[in-house]
Amino acid sequence: MKRLLTVLLAAFMVLSLAACSDNGDSKGSAAEGKNTGEKKTIRGGIGLNDSHPQYLGLLKFKEIVEEKTNGDITVETYHSGQLGDDRTMTEALQLGSQEVTIPSTAPLANFVPEFSVFDFPFLFPSEEVADKVLDGEVGQKFLDKLDSQNLVGLAYWENGFRDVTNSKHAIATAADFKGLKLRTMENDLHLEAFRALGANPTPMAFTELFTAMQQKTVDGQENPLATIYLQKYYEVQSHVSNTHHIYSPFVFLMSKSFFDGLTEEQQKIVKDAAIEAGVYQRQLNREANEKYLTDLQEAGITYTEVTPEAREEMVKLVQPAIEKYTEKIGKETVQEVFDAIEAASK
Ligand code: TK8
């Protein structure tokens, strides 16, 4: 009887060890694309609110991932800075305490400085050219740089062309920036550019912006029209000008430790979902930016059209800042982006 029990026990041990080699080592079997059956959760956080195209895009990503993984991966979505701001959420991805966030390239340059090239004022002539460059070889090259920061860049989404608002006076020419206290994103190039335009810029996390305008700590800020309207800035600002001074991309980021823990099949699903939801988000964003200028004026904001001559003057004033950052980032890297824009503009 004792001997029988020993034999049975031994047999049981061998069997469970064999089973273990199949499921335990998720990384190994993950790389081989086997479905581990292990449920995983993605916590996706953004700074904008739940009516913004960025959040609607995140909901689209959730829908695709949950459907394509048959619920093996679920996506929890957080808006309005519930999980932090662009910089702190990106740090959380690096630590593995969050899985997804979609920051603007401006704060992302604090992690990978080369990304500042995408924030060169007046760089992209149109959204279409931006799409071609970002979704092309050059865009991918920049996403690959994120790996060294324990981040995986899955796709580019759109924040959009940024316009300036303020609570003081209309901005029609560069001279109108003089002395205006403007909030900028946390990016040194933005600070330099607005100083060159004559403003008094201060870097600030997006989550603090509305209160800062309400309390008049700052006179104004700059963002695409959809954000200006959907974040209700018309409640604390009286003027908007179509400076279109920077085209801001968003980067759909995933934590590298989380991504590496996925099966190959799951890695493909999240990558494709980020791209597909990105196309959807860009479309919504462009419709929103068009629609909300009228709504902003109806909400009482005064709109000022910047003439091509006035914009040309602004372009000239920010050149020294662009030259300085071309040196910092590296001429070759910057030239590659300029060449791609030229090719895409043909
Ligand atoms: C939201 C930010 C925002 C950006 C800014 O998290 O900070 O002004 O334009 O969209 O990414």
Task: Residue 70: count other Cβ atoms within 10 Å of its Cβ.
Answer: 8
Structural contact between residues 246 and 225, judged by C-beta atoms closer than 8 angstroms: no
Query: Tell me: the pLDDT tens digits for 206-257?
Result: 999 999 999 999 999 999 999 999 999 999 999 999 999 999 999 999 999 9
74 vs 3, which has greater pLDDT? 74
Report the nearest-CA residue for atom 9 of ligand 1: 223
* Pairwise CA distance, residues 320 & 100, whole Å: 36
Evaluate: CB of 48 within 6 angstroms of ligand 1.
yes
b/e per residue 251-265 (b: at least 16 CB within 10 A): bbbbbbebbebbbee
* Section 290-294 average pLDDT: 91
Distance 206 CA to ligand 1 centre (A): 6
Evaluate: CB of 184 within 6 angstroms of ligand 1.
no
Which atom of ligand 1 has the smallest separation from the CA of 86? 6
Q: Where are the alpha helices (DSSP H) in the chain?
A: 2-23, 26-31, 53-68, 86-95, 105-108, 127-134, 137-144, 188-196, 209-214, 225-230, 256-260, 264-298, 308-329, 331-345
Instruction: Return the amino acid letter for 93.
Output: L
Which atom of ligand 1 has the smallest separation from the CA of 103? 11
Evaluate: CB of 227 within 6 angstroms of ligand 1.
yes
Evaluate: CB of 187 within 6 angstroms of ligand 1.
no
Considering only CA atoms, which of 129, 128, 132 is closest in space to residue 140?
132
* Pairwise CA distance, residues 164 & 184, whole Å: 10
Task: Report the pLDDT value the prediction gives residue 72, as an integer from 0 to 100.
Answer: 97
Q: Is 198 left (phi over 0), alpha (psi -120 to 50) or beta?
A: left
Task: Report the pLDDT value the prediction gives residue 31, as an integer from 0 to 100.
Answer: 46
Residue 29 pLDDT > 50: no
Which atom of ligand 1 has the smallest separation from the CA of 183? 8
Distance 229 CA to ligand 1 centre (A): 13
φ, ψ of residue 200 in degrees (nearest 5) = -115, 85
Quickly state the pLDDT bin for 30 (edges 50, 70, 90): very low
b/e per residue 173-184 (b: at least 16 CB within 10 A): bbebbeebbbbb
* Pairwise CA distance, residues 171 & 41, whole Å: 46
Relative orientation angle of helices 188-196 and 308-329, to the nearest 10 degrees: 140
Residue 32 pLDDT > 60: no
Residue 1 pLDDT > 80: no
Query: Tell me: the pLDDT tens digits for 108-135?
Result: 999 999 999 999 999 999 999 999 999 9
Task: Report the pLDDT value the prediction gives residue 25, as an integer from 0 to 100.
Answer: 46
Residue 17 pLDDT > 80: no
Residue 16 pLDDT > 70: no
Query: What pTM was computed for the model?
Result: 0.90
Residue 339 pLDDT > 70: yes
